[in-house]
Structure 1
Amino acid sequence: MVSQSSNLPLVSRCTVFPDRESTVPDLKLSVSDLPMLSCHYIQKGCLFTRPPLPAAELVSQLKTALSQALSQFPPLAGRLATDAEGYVYIACNDAGADFSHVYGGGIRVRDLLGSADGDVPAEFKGFFPCDLTVSYEGHFRPILAVRVTELADGVFIGCAVNHAVTDGTSFWNFFNSFAELSRGVRKVSRAPDFSRESLLISAAVLRLPEGGPKVTFDSGAPVRERIFRFSRESIQKLKAAVNNRKLEGGIDIAELMGKHSNDTLKNPDGKLTPLAWLRSAVSREAPPPVVAAEISSFQSLCALLWRGITRARKLPASKTTTFRMAVNCRHRVEPKLEPLYFGNAIQSIPTQVAAGEVLGRDLRWCAEQLNRNVVAHDGDTVRRYVESWERDPRCFPLGNFDGAMITMGSSPRFPMYDNDFGWGRPVAVRSGRANKFDGKISAFPGRDGNGTVDLEVVLAPDTMAALLSDSEFMQYVSISS
């Protein structure tokens, strides 16, 4: 195994400024942004084979593209600021982003695509700037940092972005735009929306401790991390099993992998079945035939993971387990936010069930519990979440506090592989150490598309070992690496 890349030599480091002066006003942080001040910066990046140009030319090209991208995304070149009343906002002041170039000539791409024990190689952790940086520090550190790691036969481009400034949707829109500009596109195809007129903007003030908040979990606790890959065929098989039907050919599941677009509990005529069932239950007439709800592929996958991890943790039957999912609220609020609204527009939905029920019921039942909560998270629910936060402004408590929590983040719908900087698509997408703890899961699209999904799973070492021996879970895994 190659040496830890955290000690790779620094070739150069500088501040990159926007190539045009910002015209975007200061942006107030929303009730979805502010809770993230206690979270680490988002760390995501792409692994590429060797670009067909010298390292110096590559670095120069990327700096130019980043400068252009910062003009399209002025908040990323700014800093956080807190006014006299306690409101936190983004000062779009063109202070610039951090850019570094490190040399890892002893590391090959194949070294990074697997390790002897199958876990994600630790080398990735050193490919990211702002390691374990808390988002509050954006008051005096760059909001965005980019690191280019030169490898023996490839390159890794890693980005760290303040989590109080972006969610996954905003992050990947920036990354995609950065790649577009690198390959010579003059104007990005998906311009961000910086509006701040929605119910997410509040008059409530988040009171922070002196020196800022800290992360709410132990960043140094031992964990193992693996990528579990699920092929299109495997997911079709799982979804058919959850929906208690035979697998039929020609199923188009690509559009079923989102966490929100198809997470609706419907019967064939498009009406929600729970209300119809409740009405019939209180009617004097005989209830109509029950039409089974269609469980989405992603919910089927989450249910499989929920059961596998719960079994691996060997929890008492009475122990309450929590499966937490992040949902995109852009289309849930009224009036709707723009799809490319820049900032955090997510809320976290917890589903809580006793361990005995998670394991004593079947996969479909577990998936139905997740489905019910996602369906119920409409505009009124978003508003109630906002009102609850306004009554008690607080940072988001991220972690596994009772040993029975799972947190699902990211999305297989994010365009992570739509990043051609001028020499082809990535061979892999990976993340750093940020916001990782026992039970943190991130969903990525598979590189070959077509409905494949990669789950980045972080677990305590003994839990991971038990999950790898779980026959129900592993029968659907195509590759574990």
Structure 2
Amino acid sequence: MASPSLPVLSKCSVVPHRKSSLGDLKLSVSDLPMLSCHYIQKGALFTVPPDSPLSDIIYLLKTSLSATLNWFPPLAGRLTTDADGYVYITCNDAGADFIHVDGSRISVRDLIGSGSGDVPELVKCCFAFDRTLSFEGHFKAILAVQVTELADGVFIGCSVNHAVMDGTSFWNFFNGFAEISRGLKMISKTPDFSRNSVLISPAVLKLPAGGPAVTFSTDAPIRERIFSFSRESILKLKAKANDVDGGIDAAELMGKFSNDTWKNPEGKLTPLVSKSTAEISSFQSLCALLWRGITRARNLPPSKTTMFRMAVNCRHRLEPKLEPLYFGNAIQSVATYAAAGHVVSSDLRWCAAELNKSVAAHDGAMVKKYVENWEVEPRCFPLGNFDGAVVTMGSSPRFPMYDNDFGWGRPVAVRSGTANKFDGKISAFPGRAGGGAVDLEVILAPETMAGLESDPEFMQFVVSN
């Protein structure tokens, strides 16, 4: 289904204040698989003072974007493929798109939605490059910033090529953009553009003429809802997963965890199992709750193999470690497998422990194993729910999504566009209240969503929106 649209008041290309001196950046084995994925679409909703002229806000954001691109020259570049098939980001100052859209008949409340948690369709019109594949960065802007003026606020939506950056890099850019907008002369966290790790490979990804195609149906019916979990609710869930009575005083571990796979001699994917850590983390507990609830709602045959797929940050897993602000994709998609019958008949702790085992398994050696497997068979990332039994967790509650202020205070809400959404796709956001609260953006087939909403084990931990 096509996204709704709003009148475009102006559109232009914004180039950096200074000419870029950064050379071409070769795409890595974590970047290249994303060429078949949609552009990342994330943005923030703000209220603004009623006496702030929109013309001043647009001018501020446009000039601030130009200054911010000085620190992120790849976002003003284009993708290029050389004669040998290697793909690069050429930092040629071609510019980023800047679009001003009229949403003056829409209020902040209209974009937040009702207490049901369902995400309003209007949110989709707050982003450019709807359903644009990252391969198209060869001839389209790598970054598009859409500013949608509202009756009582603004929505700043960024669409960024997913082969160029992951969530860590995205939010570093977004927050740097906010810093420049509120008057800082330079950003506080400078990205690292090095290309000297094991992720840079001599392998060539061969693509069909005209580029790859998206690997999932964009027309299948889905519902999109935000489920909110307070810190207290998550601590109770963690205690349940750890079989502990009462509250837990341990520090929150909000990282993502998953297990890797390898190809055995018969060519089958086999889970890599390792000993579990002593304590099941908050996020593992929450993922286990979700895995069980969705599997029950899908009413799968007991023998059906389910997969809980997660994207993990590899920056700190490699040896030597990548810089925390390494620019690009430094993620790997890894999965935990279990029969549907085991997922729904075992207790929460069992599911959480399966995820917990992967923490020790996914170390630097496993990151390198993933790279080696990809080099044997270079391919784009097969995003989607191919057999109706997959749950895919993306984004992270550790991302600093609310740590930005363009001059009007912190965001009221953070939302995403239509990009890369299919039955079973979940994105984890920090709750606006902070302190360990988490919001889950859940995309499911309508009948599965209805089943999850009526699941007492799942809903007892959800707080009202």
Q: Which TM class, normalised by the smaller chain length?
A: over 0.9
Superposed displacement of residue 116, structure 1: 7.4
1:349–1:374 Cα contact (<8 Å) kept: no
Q: Which residue of 1 aligns with 2:312?
A: 327
Distance 1:5 1:407 in 2: 23
Map of 1:453 onto structure 2: 438
**2:22 matched to which residue of 1?**
24
Measure, in 2, the Cα distance between the counterparts of 1:124 and 1:114: 9
Asked if 1:304 corresponds to 2:289, the answer is yes
Residue type matched to 1:108 in 2? S
Match of 2:263 in 1: none
**Residues 13 and 60 of structure 1, relative CA distance in 2, 3 Å threshold:** same
Runs of 5+ unmatched residues, structure 2: 259-272
After TM superposition, the score normalised by the length of structure 1 is: 0.91
CA distance in 2, matches of 1:408, 1:38: 18
Q: For residues 116 and 382 of structure 1, what CA distance do their matches in structure 2 show?
A: 42
Post-superposition offset of 1:115: 3.4
1:34 maps to what in 2?
32
Partner of 1:88: 87
Deviations 1:330-375 (A, max 9, x none): 0111111000000000001110100000011111110111111232
Whole-angstrom distance in 2 between the partners of 1:247 and 1:165: 45
For residue 283 of structure 1, what is the aligned residue in structure 2?
none
Look up the match of 1:343.
Answer: 328
Partner of 2:270: none
Q: Per the alignment, in what secondary structure is the counterpart of residue 380 of structure 1?
A: helix
SS at match of 1:256: coil
Inter-CA distance 444–379: structure 2 relative to 1 (3 Å threshold): same
Paired with 2:169 and 2:7, the residues of 1 have a C-alpha distance of: 31
1:163 is aligned to: 162
Give the corresponding residue for 1:221: 220
Match of 1:103 in 2: 102
Matched to 2:281, the amino acid is: S
The counterpart of 1:258, out of the listed 246, 255, 259, is 255
Match of 2:11 among 10, 13, 31: 13
Tell me, yes or no, if the aligned pair for 1:322 and 1:404 is still in contact at 8 Å.
yes
Greater C-alpha radius of gyration? 1
Name the SS for the 1:413 alignment partner: coil
Distance 1:324 1:419 in 2: 29
- 1:310 counterpart letter in structure 2: T
Matches within 5 A, 1:95-134: 95-115=94-114, 118-134=117-133
> 1:468 corresponds to which letter in structure 2?
E
Task: State the AA in 2 paired with 1:13.
Answer: K
Matched, 1:233 2:218: no
* Match of residue 361 from structure 1: 346
Contact 1:5–1:104 (8 Å) recurs in 2: no
Q: Counterpart in 2 of 1:378?
A: 363
1:48 aligns with 2:33: no
Length, aligned pairs only: 449
Query: Structure 1 residues 162 and 476 mapped into 2: Cα distance closer, same or farther (>3 Å)?
Result: same
**Take 2:250 and 2:66, find their aligned partners in 1: how far apart are those partners?**
40
Amino acid at match of 2:227: F
Instruction: Tell me, in whole angstroms, the C-alpha distance in 2 between the residues paired with 1:210 and 1:193.
Output: 33
Contact 2:30 2:330 in 1 (8 A): yes
Using structure 2 for the length normalisation, give the TM-score: 0.94
Q: CA RMSD in A?
A: 1.6
The worse-fitting range, judged by mean Cα deviation, of 6-15 and 403-412 is 6-15
SS at match of 2:70: helix
Paired position in structure 1 for 2:140: 141
Alpha-carbon distance change, 189 to 475 in structure 1, aligned in 2, over 3 angstroms: same
Give the Cα–Cα distance (whole angstroms) in 1 for the partners of residues 423 and 288 of structure 2.
18
